Amino acid sequence: MPGSTLISKRARALRPSLTLAISARAKTLSQEGQDICSLSAGEPDFDTPAFIVEATVKALHDGITRYGPAAGDPELREAIASKLRELNKIDARPENVLVTNGGKQAIYNLFQVILNPGDEVLIPSPYWLSYPEITLLAGAKPISLSSSPDNGFSLDPEQLEASINSKTRLLILNSPGNPTGRVMTEEEMKLIAGILRRHPRLLVMSDEIYEFLIADNEVHHSFAAVAPDLADRIFTVNGFAKGWAMTGWRLGYLAGNQEVIKAASALQSHSTSNVCSFAQRGALAALTGSRDCVVAMTKRYNARRELLTNGLNKIKGMSLVPPKGAFYAFPELPKKSPDSIEFCKLALEEVGLAVVPGAVFGRDKCIRVSCAVSSKIISDGLQRLNEFASRY
């Protein structure tokens, strides 16, 4: 068993991505000339706004090509802190901010510095697939809190409180959520804050990476703003990937308790060091420039989300909790259909449709359908899904 001697226990605990097999197969089929329609995208299809690119090119010409402080450029930390204060109503200073290689590294660094082996992490399900894996990498134990489409995938406060024991260290919140597109209300957050007040050892990570991608009549609330008295226990994760269409730039941030930020910065200084210096200038331009580009993209996603929602609602046998944010819908498969992995494999082979199995998000019997593609592709995908789902 070469794997057991070569690979560390830590790495062996990681589960290979189930989605990779489907996307690799979709690519092969497409290269073979088959007509494939993909509603599996997890990133914006828009280009990064030109003024951000221009600021970055200028930074390169200006020689911003050297190492910088591990925690991020002071101007960018200041701009992030001021955005958190003004927009999110979180009382952040630059010392509370760490600039990271994407939201993902913010989560990774946070978990590495606050979790000990044996700690339990509460993860409301359906969840973004990296949460359990990053938890395992920190030696902690992911505990899934199930929810039902019957109550809109909301987190049950009683179930949450009943799941807390002496080992429970962290609760993950993600609103707007991937994969459901769910947006948490302020009331729900207040209920959760009440539970936290009864459990002083419990910390919270609030992943707000989709904050700008939200339906017109919805409001994004930052958990740290809803419970300012708990600020020292709440860590906000965010980034530039989704709102500004900057996935490949790898720019994110972690905000919270200064002691934890210092520890996460020390960890970063020995792993990746500073985030790409000239890319940080692009992030600074994004934050300090006009938000019109974000508003324009949000408008397009909102129209596409509606198109997707209306189309899914018309498919017989499938049911949907209407998404209110992000760029996904998470419908339930018809009762007689196979599990989500098999359903997705067959949909690809038989009608050339690529969608993501719900199993990877902790809920089989659902699929994740993306609207981060053109309306034409969404309509085409809906037709294929309708045809395929009608078999069950």
Binding interface with ligand PLP (CB under 6 A): 42, 102-104, 128, 174, 178, 207, 209, 239, 241, 247, 252
Q: In the beta sheet, which residues pair with residue 239?
A: 252
User: Which DSSP category does 247 fall into?
Assistant: G
Q: How far is the CB of 111 from ligand PLP (least distance, A)?
A: 13
Q: How far is the CB of 391 from ligand PLP (least distance, A)?
A: 31
- Integer Cα distance of 192 and 15 in angstroms: 30
Q: How far is the CB of 240 from ligand PLP (least distance, A)?
A: 7
The structure tokens 């899914």 sit at 312
Q: How far is the CB of 56 from ligand PLP (least distance, A)?
A: 17
Angstrom distances, CA of residue 306 to CA of 49, 214, 309, 323, 371: 24, 12, 5, 9, 9
- Integer Cα distance of 266 and 29 in angstroms: 45
Q: How far is the CB of 17 from ligand PLP (least distance, A)?
A: 12
Q: Between 72 and 334, whose beta carbon lies closer to ligand PLP?
A: 72
User: Which DSSP category does 221 fall into?
Assistant: -
| Cβ–Cβ under 8 Å, residues 76 and 55 | no
Q: Between 128 and 343, whose beta carbon lies closer to ligand PLP?
A: 128
Q: Between 304 and 368, whose beta carbon lies closer to ligand PLP?
A: 368
Q: Between 168 and 178, whose beta carbon lies closer to ligand PLP?
A: 178
Cβ-closest position to ligand PLP: 102
Q: How far is the CB of 200 from ligand PLP (least distance, A)?
A: 27
Q: Between 330 and 388, whose beta carbon lies closer to ligand PLP?
A: 330
Q: Between 15 and 197, whose beta carbon lies closer to ligand PLP?
A: 15
| DSSP string for 47-90 | PPPHHHHHHHHHHHHTT--S---TT--HHHHHHHHHHHHHTT--
